[in-house]
Amino acid sequence: MKKLVVFGGTGRTGLAVLTRASQDPELQVTAYLRKPEKVPVNVRSKIKIVLGNVLDADQVANVIEGQDAVISCLGKGFNICPTTLISEGVKNIVQGMREHGVKRIVLVGVAFLLPGRKTMFILKEITADHERALNYLKKCKDIDWIMSMPPQIIDAPYTDTYKVAINKLCGSKKATTHDIAHWMLTCVKDEEVAKEYKHQLVGISSFLSFKQGLTRLKIGYYGLFAFALVGTLWYSGWLKNIFP
């Protein structure tokens, strides 16, 4: 049985990771969280919860002690403001891994950082912090890191048809939360997969059924419109005046 600690477990992908990992008899799961109430009760009952902040290096190191692997789903959700949470959090995690001799970490990045791809202007700040984390990891030759690079993330079940590829996407520009979670847990559990994708950026693409695609397309358009509206209002200064 592998001991796994998960950071960023209350976001969309993080919750999928915790849900799937909690059902896996091969894993003993610890979730390092600020807000455990965001995790469903049926998942909480099957994992160990440790309260803490990823920006507290000592707390992070303590929770990593005794673990076999780490998953990081650190992010800011739909918050598009400048941040260093991801990059500083990753630095603290790596520091803790070195302190306790833990080698393997699987992280969620963004497909915008795959070779030849460009970010959306509205997402430039969050992408920049993912890039800072990536640039730091590239210098960590002693850490066996793998970064999953999803495009548009959608809340949907495991498809069993997703594809992964090094440094590129395999066609679809969508990835379901549970496909990403399945891939990340595979990297934790499967030694051959971990060896093959060590120090790689791995694009992941989900292939939805026609019905799923229509549903997600409708939701996606509404979500994109709302996201763009909030971003426009923020950068125009209107929301900053209300929420300084």
Topology (CATH) of 2-208:
Rossmann fold (3.40.50)
One-letter amino acid at 35 equals: K
Indicate the domain borders of the chain: 2-208, 210-244
Enter the DSSP assignment of 189: H
Extract the tokens encoding 237: 């200064």
Q: Which two tokens stand for residue 51?
A: 């309260």
The amino acid at residue 108 is V
Closest Cα partner for 89 from 6, 178, 19? 6
Residues 90 and 72: beta-carbon distance below 8 Å: yes
Return per-residue pLDDT of the chain as tens, 244 residues: 999 999 999 999 999 999 999 999 999 999 999 999 999 999 999 999 999 999 999 999 999 999 999 999 999 887 888 999 999 999 999 999 999 999 999 999 999 999 998 888 888 999 999 999 999 999 999 999 999 999 999 999 999 999 999 999 987 899 999 999 999 999 999 999 999 999 999 999 999 865 555 444 444 445 555 555 555 555 566 544 544 4
In the three-class reduction of DSSP (H, G, I as helix; E, B as strand; rest coil), residue 106 is classed as strand
Q: What is the pLDDT of residue 206?
A: 96
What is residue 243's predicted lDDT score, i.e. its pLDDT? 44
d(CA 148, CA 109): 6
What's the predicted TM-score (pTM) here?
0.86
Structure confidence at residue 240 (pLDDT):
47
pLDDT the model gives residue 215: 46
pLDDT of residue 221: 46
